[in-house]
Structure formats: C-alpha cells, structure tokens
C-alpha cells in the first residue's frame, strides 16, 4: 500500500471511495463536486490517496490551500504514519487544522513534532430515520427558507452563534469577514429561519452539500429562547427540505452539548462515532 497524489486515472476510484462513507467528510466531497480533483503537487499537494496493490483507493488525505487537512480512511496504520510524516512536516508552516474522525486525527497528531495548541471533540451524527414534517405556519411563529434579503436580520444571530459555538476562546470574527461568509451561505446553502411576526429569532442551515449528504450547521436559538422547541421547529423544516430532494443529512456536535444531542436523536439522527478538529495556530 502506498500514498500518492491523485492522478486522473485514480480520480474515479477516489470519488467512489469518498462516496462510501460520505458523512465523515461532506465538506470534502462538496469541494470536489465543484470541480474535478486536480493533480497534486509535492509539498503542498491537494489530494493524496492510499492505493492498494489492486489499484483501489482506500484512504484519502486532503490538504487545502488554507491549511486544513482532512484525512479520511478507516484507520491510519504505522506504515501510513511513516509514509505521511514528511508530507505533513513539509506542510507544517501553513498548517491550520486537522479535521476528521477522532482516531484518524489523533494518529496524525502523533507524527507531528509538537501537540496542537487547541482541539475540540465532537460526535458525528447521521440521519437514519428521518421524521420529515412540513413547516408549521401561523401568524406569530412561522418557519421559512431564508434568502439573501434576510442577511442583515440573520447577522446578529450568526455572530452570537460564532461566539458561542465556533470561535475559540479569545477570538473574534470581524464583521466584514462574517458578513461575507454569511452571504456565501445564503447564496449557496439551504438556510431556514424561525420568525416571530417577521423577525428572525432562530436559524439552521446546511454548511456543505456533498454528493448524497448535506452537512448541517449553524443551528442556533438564542439562550433566552431555549426550551420552546424552536430548534426542533427549524430543524424539521430544514430536514424536510433535504428529504424533498432525496438527500440525507449529517452533522457534528460538541460532545458535551447535551440539549443539542437529545434534539438530534429525537429527530432520527444516530451516533457514528467521535469526530475531532484540532488547531495549530
């Protein structure tokens, strides 16, 4: 077995492998869906794959330009560690983060010269028994899909969500970057919101749309409004939209966020193991 940069004749086998357990790496299949995988260059190669003697791909390592490494394979062996060490070390100066199943991320962390200064553990959930219900509509509380016109109303919620769920201690999100990202989300993803008399009070969206799976993120109800099933309401609508396109859903959630975990289990999500994101700078 050996790791090589993906070439055009490996690309189909590579995609086939990625589609098998897509929920582990939707952000990756979503990126690859946009354009064909490109030939990697040594040093800062984009996609590397692990090839069996039978020329089958059974592992993929993606290195993004922005320094995110997404490993995806059932396990990283001692041999993999040896083969990947020079690649990861050469990538180190531009390294930002590893994201993947907890075991693969830990095995890759082990080959680095130092431990990552920060990391977060999540649970990976996949929707197994969808209970799709159309959105309830009445004059005071209604749920609908959000559009670009809602940008200014959603922004304060999104900022609060980033502060509470995404950003690491002491970090802030600049307004211009945040608005730009939110604009992209509204343009390219499916965003649903709960409205109280036309004022947006809660939200949920997809943050990556892969081949068969949509990865859900940005599920946010402000602290003062929790416990009123607004999360369930907005998730129902979003999942119903996803089901209407015959697609499936997955997400990762912080491992000790009990209210969110119980909401997701109630909606038909099942636990698929531990997930981890670490940060190198």
Partner 1 sequence: MHRFAPLSILPLLFFLCVAFGGGAQETPHFSDDVAPEVLAQSLVNAMSDQEALGQTLMFGYPGQAPDPLILKRIQEQGLGGVKIFGWNATDLNVLAETVGRYQRESISTRFGIPLLVATDQEGGWVRHVKGESSITPGNMAIGADGLPYDAWKTGEIIGKELAAVGVNMNFAPTVDVFVDPRADVIGPRAFMADPGQTGILGLSFAKGHEVSGVIGTAKHFPGHGDTSEDSHGTLPTVNAPLSLLRERDLIPYRTLIAGGIPAIMVGHLAFPEITGNRVPATLSPVLLETLLRDELGFEGVAITDDLFMTGARSDGSPLDEVCYRAMTAGADLLLVSQGPNDHQAINSTLLERMKEEESFNARVRQAAARVIAMKARYIKGKNAVPLEPATEEMAIPAQEAPSFFLEQAARSITAVRSKRLPLPPEEAGKVLLAGFYPDFFTAGLERYEEAKTWKLTYQSDVASYQQRGRELLRAAQNYDTVIVLLPDEDMAILLEELEPIASKVIVLSVLSPAHLDALSWAQTSLAAYGTGEESFKAAFAALAGDFTPQGTLPIPLQSVP
Interface residues with partner 1 (CB under 8 A) are 132-140, 144-145, 147, 149, 196-199, 201, 224-228, 240-241, 243-246
**Least distance between partner 1 and beta carbon 199 (Å):** 6
**Least distance between partner 1 and beta carbon 148 (Å):** 9
**Least distance between partner 1 and beta carbon 157 (Å):** 13
**Least distance between partner 1 and beta carbon 192 (Å):** 10
- Residue 196 has a CB neighbour count (10 Å cut-off) of 14
Q: Which residue lies nearer to partner 1 by CB, 68 or 132?
A: 132
What DSSP assignment string belongs to 34-57?
A: HSPPPPP-SSS-SEEEEE-TTS-E
Cα dihedral 132→138→141→146 (10° resolution): 60
- C-alpha 50 chain-centroid distance: 22
Q: Which residue lies nearer to partner 1 by CB, 137 or 184?
A: 137
Q: Which residue lies nearer to partner 1 by CB, 168 or 226?
A: 226
- Written as six digits, the tokens of 278 are 């670490």
- Residue 27 has a CB neighbour count (10 Å cut-off) of 17
**Least distance between partner 1 and beta carbon 142 (Å):** 8
What are the residues whose beta carbons fall under 8 Å from the beta carbon of 262, sequence distance 6 or more? none
How far apart CA 162 and CA 175 sit, in angstroms, is 11
Q: Which residue lies nearer to partner 1 by CB, 8 or 137?
A: 137
How far apart CA 202 and CA 226 sit, in angstroms, is 10
Q: Which residue lies nearer to partner 1 by CB, 49 or 204?
A: 204
């Amino acid at each position: 077995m050996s790791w090589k940069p993906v070439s055009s004749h490996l690309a189909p086998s590579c995609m086939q492998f990625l589609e098998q357990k897509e929920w582990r790496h939707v952000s990756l299949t979503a990126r690859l869906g946009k354009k064909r995988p490109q030939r990697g260059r040594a040093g800062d190669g984009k996609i590397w794959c692990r090839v069996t003697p039978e020329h089958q791909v059974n592992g993929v390592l993606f290195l993004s330009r922005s320094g995110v490494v997404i490993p995806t394979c059932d396990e990283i062996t001692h041999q993999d560690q040896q083969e990947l060490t020079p690649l990861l070390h050469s990538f180190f100066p531009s390294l930002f983060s590893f994201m993947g199943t907890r075991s693969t991320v830990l095995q890759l962390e082990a080959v680095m010269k130092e431990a990552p200064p920060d990391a977060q553990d999540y649970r990976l959930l996949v929707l197994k028994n969808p209970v799709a219900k159309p959105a309830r509509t009445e004059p005071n509380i209604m749920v609908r899909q959000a559009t670009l016109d809602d940008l200014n109303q959603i922004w304060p919620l999104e900022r609060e969500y980033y502060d509470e769920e995404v950003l690491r201690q002491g970090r802030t999100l600049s307004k211009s970057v945040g608005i730009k990202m939110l604009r992209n989300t509204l343009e390219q993803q499916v965003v649903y919101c709960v409205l109280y008399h036309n004022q947006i009070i809660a939200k949920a969206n997809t943050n990556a749309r892969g081949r068969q799976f949509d990865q859900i993120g940005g599920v946010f109800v402000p602290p003062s409004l929790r416990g009123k099933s607004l999360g369930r309401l907005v998730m129902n609508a979003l999942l119903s939209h996803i089901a209407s396109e015959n697609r499936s859903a997955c997400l990762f959630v912080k491992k000790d966020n009990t209210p969110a975990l119980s909401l997701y289990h109630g909606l038909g999500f099942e636990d698929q193991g531990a997930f981890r994101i670490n940060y190198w700078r």
